[in-house]
Amino acid sequence: MFPLWLRLYLSRDKSRTLRPKSLRVWKPIPAQHRSFCSHFLHYFLSHCPQNEVFSEEEGAEDVMATGELNPNHYPAQRAAKVVQHYLTTRYGSPYRLFGLQRVHSGNAEDVGDSGRKYQLEIAVHEIISNTTQKCSAEVFFPHGQKQESPQVQASCEELLNISTKAQEEALYQQYKMNQTLISAQNLPDSHGHIEPDTKPLWHLGIVASSFIMLKESNENTLYNMAQVANITQLATENDQLKFDCHTLLHDMVSQVNTHNYELLDALENGRKSKLFP
């Protein structure tokens, strides 16, 4: 049974991995639309996301280790981070968030030409209850022409034992019953500060971003969410909550920050509002 709030925008389909029902996601503006960006997005941002290019063509050494991995080195660490994102998409909520505590062991093997499979023993930290769980996970990175999301399987000891249902229900009621629609910017702010009553929104942003970070991950990335630039509740006519999110993701390897726009729930007509005339 999913926590209530997750039910609001996710639906389970028959396949193993969850597909968010109406989590529409816009990719960062690709290079060819840069001029669009510089006019439109300029009103949002103090600068346009630069054309982020990690030049693979420089002959980057791509010697990926196979066999037993050093758990502290980057190949195992990057795969383990993917597991963190996966767990957050599956089990995350405003009251349940995961961090990678430690990699105990890792193993990698090529699967023919189709990709590489990692087996990991990791310790996962549930941040809000401050508890640590051991997990066994398998991450498969497909090697195709274009980016394909990794496939993850994970089994953890007692990940859902901490019940967050009551808090989630209370939050849902609070947001639903509010006279004004809640909105917050810059979570955290430049000084790392987050107002206590906007923390659940920050957590929401992390969960939403985790879908994208999971999708965009490969063996040459290490994603974290840098900031929720803006999260705004939108009115709905039904029981669902709807949020408009603009988040900034940071990739440690290319050092790139990508802007991502997520609408948690149904899209009306797919157009973004301009914030300034």
Partner 1 sequence: MRGLLAFAALLVAVIAKESFEGHQVLRIIPKNDIQLSLIKELEDMIHFELDFWRELSGVNTPVDVRVPFHSLQSVKIYLETQGIEYSVMIEDLQMMLDEEQKEMMSAAHAPKPRNTDSFDYANYHTISEIYSFQDMLVAENPNLVSKTVIGQSFEGRPLNVLKFSTGGTNRPAIWIDTGIHSREWVTQASGTWFAKKIVTDHRRDPSLTAILDNMDIFLETVTNPDGYSYTHSTNRLWRKTRKPNPGSRCVGVDPNRNWDAGFGGPGASNDPCSQIYRGPRAESESEVKSIVDFVKSHGNIKAFISIHSYSQLLLYPYGYTRTPVRDRPELDRLARKATTDLASLYGTRYTFGSIINTIYQASGGSIDWAYNQGIKFSYTFELRDTGRFGFMLPANQIIPTAQETWLALMTIMDYTLKNPY
**Where on the chain is the footprint of partner 1 (CB under 8 A)?**
46-47, 50-55, 58-61, 63, 70, 72-74, 81, 99-100, 102, 127, 179-181, 188-193, 224-227, 232, 234-237, 242, 248, 250, 252-257, 268-269, 271-277
Q: Which of 223, 217, 175, 181 is closest to 200 using CA atoms?
A: 175
Q: Nearest approach, Cβ of 268 to partner 1 (angstroms)? A: 4
Residue among 160 and 234 whose Cβ is closer to partner 1: 234
Q: Nearest approach, Cβ of 238 to partner 1 (angstroms)? A: 11
Residue among 111 and 127 whose Cβ is closer to partner 1: 127
Q: Nearest approach, Cβ of 198 to partner 1 (angstroms)? A: 14
Q: Nearest approach, Cβ of 153 to partner 1 (angstroms)? A: 23
How buried is 202 (Cβ within 10 angstroms: 0-12 exposed, 13-18 middle, 19+ buried)?
buried
Q: Nearest approach, Cβ of 136 to partner 1 (angstroms)? A: 21
Q: Which of 140, 150, 135 is closest to 101 using CA atoms?
A: 135
Q: What's the Cα-to-Cα distance from 173 to each of 89, 198, 237, rounded to whole Å?
A: 22, 15, 15
Q: Nearest approach, Cβ of 6 to partner 1 (angstroms)? A: 21
Burial 151-170 (b: 16+ CB within 10 A, else e): bbebebeebeeeebeebbee
How buried is 275 (Cβ within 10 angstroms: 0-12 exposed, 13-18 middle, 19+ buried)?
exposed
Residue among 67 and 112 whose Cβ is closer to partner 1: 67
CA 226 from centroid of its chain's CA atoms: 11
Q: Nearest approach, Cβ of 96 to partner 1 (angstroms)? A: 14
Residue among 12 and 24 whose Cβ is closer to partner 1: 24
Q: What's the Cα-to-Cα distance from 72 to each of 77, 80, 105, 120, 125, rounded to whole Å?
A: 6, 11, 9, 12, 17
Residue among 231 and 256 whose Cβ is closer to partner 1: 256
Residue among 129 and 232 whose Cβ is closer to partner 1: 232
Number of H helices, E strands in the chain: 5, 12
Q: Which of 81, 89, 86, 66 is closest to 3 using CA atoms?
A: 89
